[in-house]
């Protein structure tokens, strides 16, 4: 019988019982047990990197049960690690919460869903009420949670109260496992209720995890480390192992040897180069990591490279923040899409309310969410570590290209323009068509305030961002790239010889039609004088088109430069 792969199964017991292929991550249990000085551990990782499956594994290993589950672990690393580790097997009461599905549009809906999750948790453990040592207050509050009548302060105290009852009932301190703690916070950021949901979690986490005498260990997973001052302000016992840290670096995602073993297991070793190009490239600590969801999906669904990870859930927060920063950081995104990197100081705390105005918060969000990788590259003058940020693989490149493509299409569509029509006109040498489509884009992107300086910066940057995205598969789009004896404003170079190439020189005019004509003359002369076609011809572009482009406020004029065009 061929090996069966687990697609979307994040229940450890179900996966193991069905005999599905499993990449052994049980070393994580040993590592967690060894951290005797760590009480509360936060493990932020990108979505679909195995967080839920790992927490399910921890639950199966640590949770007290009348049913012995040793058969789930018998052939795994933790089972052969020694009696000091197996002494923790099925020993503790476990409080398990999963918040990944809580993403409503309003705080009232979010509050209702959070309370319902806590009700279900209390219902699961209500046998503790049968003990004679339960106080009247404890019983009253417990039943109020069960029937939904409890006030906010009782729900905020729920972790502490339940852990006390479980500790007393079993004689063992509790293990708390919270999966995707930040999913409701992401929803709050998008829905405009971030402050309210953060306030709930600040109280909930502080009450249940800070100096809790009934706590053995707590493990939280999520995508981001939401800034300490906003949610973890009271947790002085919190340790964080992000993607930059060496601890637990190989616990999430697949390492190179794990992927090679998996491909061998399913007789697909010849696909390793494709899998590397599309799904490799993340760096967690010192480990190179593959996206596990995409690798498994590739092997299961026809073994064709596709953006499997990108289609698993909405990227609304990423798309929203990228759209805000697109024009201002156009040179940075251009460098990333060209295969280059950016040296930055990374702040592992993400302050949600500054995402739309803070460049540092943007890079942190993209890194921790899995849209960039970070490699150490020295320190600053003040001793802070620097990292080189880059796009990890082909799959993630599509996030940027699709986001920017949609960003520009939306702006052009609102004024009768078309991004496809613009690119076709550029590659066909159709100056009237280029002018028509650029005019539609300029109406949206250029304000008179923007054009008050030496050039229409917002239009130019938005224009290049859009072309970078929409022409990614067939052409390289660059700005101010040296060619001939100068640097054209925009160069569109084919990835393969025999396809059209384009050069554009942009000028700003002031004073109506006469000034526009003069600006076009100057741009055309500059193109011819400096031989801006040199790089395109060397790359085998056929034909090569050149356009002089002039702006006066929201007015755009385009002229084809015919002196050196191929016929």
pLDDT in tens, 525-560: 999 888 888 889 999 999 999 999 998 877 899 999
**Which pLDDT value is given to residue 450?**
45
User: What burial letters (b/e) apply to 131-156, b meaning 16+ CB within 10 Å?
Assistant: eeeeeeebeebbeebbeeebeeebbb
Query: In what side-by-side order are the strands of the sheet with 254-255?
Result: 254-255, 287-290, 282-284
pLDDT at position 451, please?
A: 40
* pLDDT of 149: 95
> What percentage of residues in the chain have a pLDDT greater than 70?
91
**The dihedral of CA 29, 31, 37, 42: what is its sign?**
negative
Confidence at residue 147, expressed as pLDDT on a 0 to 100 scale: 95
Contact 155, 115 (CB under 8 A): yes
Q: Where does 51-91 have alpha helices with state H? A: 51-62, 83-86
The ranges of the chain with pLDDT < 70 are 1, 227-230, 234, 311-315, 352-353, 414-415, 444-459, 461-462, 481-486, 512, 563-567
- Single out the residue of 351, 506, 288, 326 nearest to residue 408, CA to CA: 326
Return d(Cα 317, Cα 324) in angstroms, integer: 11
Predicted pLDDT of residue 227? 62
Query: Average pLDDT of the chain?
Result: 88
**Residue for token pair 């929803």:** 187
Say how many CA atoms lie within 13 Å of 33 toward its Cβ: 20
> Can you give 403-464 as a three-state secondary structure string?
HHHHHHHHHHHCCCCCHHHHHHHHHHCCHHHHHHHHHHHHHHHCCCCHHHCCCCHHHHHHHH
pLDDT in tens, 404-457: 777 777 777 766 778 889 999 999 999 999 999 888 877 766 543 444 444 455
pLDDT number for residue 565: 46
> Beta strand 349-350 with 225-226: parallel, antiparallel or unpaired?
parallel
């Amino acid at each position: 019988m061929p090996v069966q792969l687990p697609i979307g199964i994040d229940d450890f017991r179900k996966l193991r019982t069905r005999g599905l292929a499993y990449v052994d991550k049980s070393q994580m249990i040993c590592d967690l047990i060894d951290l005797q000085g760590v009480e509360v551990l936060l493990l932020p990782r990108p979505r679909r990197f195995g967080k839920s499956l790992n927490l399910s594994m921890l639950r199966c290993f640590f949770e007290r049960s009348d049913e012995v589950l040793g058969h789930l672990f018998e052939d795994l690393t933790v089972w052969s690690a020694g009696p000091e580790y197996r002494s923790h097997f099925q020993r503790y009461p476990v409080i398990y919460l999963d918040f990944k599905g809580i993403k409503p549009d309003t705080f009232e809906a979010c509050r209702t869903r959070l309370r319902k999750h806590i009700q279900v948790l209390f219902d699961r453990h209500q046998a503790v009420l049968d003990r004679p040592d339960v106080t009247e207050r404890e019983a009253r509050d417990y039943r109020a949670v069960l029937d939904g009548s409890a006030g906010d302060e009782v729900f905020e105290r729920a972790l502490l109260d339940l852990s006390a009852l479980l500790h007393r009932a079993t004689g063992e301190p509790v293990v708390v496992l919270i999966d995707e703690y930040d999913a409701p916070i992401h929803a709050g950021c998008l829905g405009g209720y971030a402050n309210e949901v953060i306030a709930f979690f600040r109280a909930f986490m502080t009450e249940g995890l800070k100096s809790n005498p009934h706590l053995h260990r707590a493990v939280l997973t999520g995508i981001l480390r939401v800034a300490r001052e906003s949610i973890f302000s009271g947790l002085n016992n919190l340790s964080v192992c992000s993607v930059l840290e060496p601890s637990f670096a190989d616990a999430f995602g697949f390492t190179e040897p794990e992927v090679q073993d998996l491909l061998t297991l399913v007789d697909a070793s010849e696909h390793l180069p494709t899998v590397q190009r599309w799904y490799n490239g993340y760096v967690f600590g010192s480990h190179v990591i593959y996206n596990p969801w995409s690798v498994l999906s590739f092997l299961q669904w026809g073994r064709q490279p596709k953006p499997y990870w990108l289609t698993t859930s909405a990227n609304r927060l990423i798309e929203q923040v990228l759209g805000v920063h697109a024009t201002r950081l156009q040179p940075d995104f251009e460098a990333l899409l060209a295969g280059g990197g950016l040296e930055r100081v990374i702040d592992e705390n993400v302050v949600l309310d500054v995402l739309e105005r803070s460049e540092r918060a943007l890079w942190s969000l993209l890194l921790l969410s899995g849209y960039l990788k970070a490699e150490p590259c020295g320190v600053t003058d003040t001793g802070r570590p620097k990292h080189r940020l880059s796009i990890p693989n082909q799959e993630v490149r599509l996030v940027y290209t699709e986001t920017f493509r949609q960003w520009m299409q939306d702006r052009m569509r609102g004024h009768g323009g078309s991004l496809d029509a613009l690119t076709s006109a550029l590659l066909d040498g159709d100056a009237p068509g280029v002018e028509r489509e650029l005019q539609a884009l300029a109406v949206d992107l250029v304000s008179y305030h923007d054009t008050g300086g030496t050039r229409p910066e917002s239009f130019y940057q938005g224009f290049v961002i859009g072309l970078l995205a929409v022409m990614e598969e067939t052409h390289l789009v660059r700005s101010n790239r040296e060619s001939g004896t100068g640097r054209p404003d925009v160069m569109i170079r084919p990835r393969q010889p025999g396809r059209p190439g384009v050069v554009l020189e942009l000028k700003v005019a002031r004073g109506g039609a006469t000034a526009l004509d003069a600006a076009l003359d100057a741009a055309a002369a500059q193109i011819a004088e400096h031989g801006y076609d040199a790089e395109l011809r060397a790359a085998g572009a056929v034909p090569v088109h050149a356009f002089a482009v002039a702006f006066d406020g929201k007015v755009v004029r385009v002229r084809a430069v015919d002196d050196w065009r191929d016929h």
